[in-house]
Amino acid sequence: MTYSQQLHPWCVVRYLAGQEYMIVARFRRRDDAVAYLQVLRQANKKVVFTILFHAPTVKTSLTPKALN
């Protein structure tokens, strides 16, 4: 996940065949994503869109710190 994607965790997604989805747009704020979702739903009534929070994965190190 790029830095830009980390700054924009709210996604409007379109569901495809099976369990796949395509990210249509990314936003910093949920309110912006909701407003965009309403516009998409009015323009494309047959296509299924939804909002999801695409959180970045956190990598943690499990190695203990060296004792002084």
pLDDT tens, per residue, the chain with 68 residues:
677 667 788 999 999 988 899 999 999 999 999 999 999 999 999 999 999 998 777 666 666 665 55
Sheet with 21-27, strands from edge to edge, namely: 21-27, 10-15, 49-53
Cα distance between residue 49 and residue 56, in whole Å? 21
> What pLDDT is stored for residue 64 in this prediction?
61
Three-state SS for 35? helix
51 - beta bridge partners? 12
What DSSP element (H or E) covers 15?
strand 10-15
- The pTM score is 0.71
Cα distance between residue 55 and residue 1, in whole Å? 10
- Structure-block tokens of residue 9: 């965790």
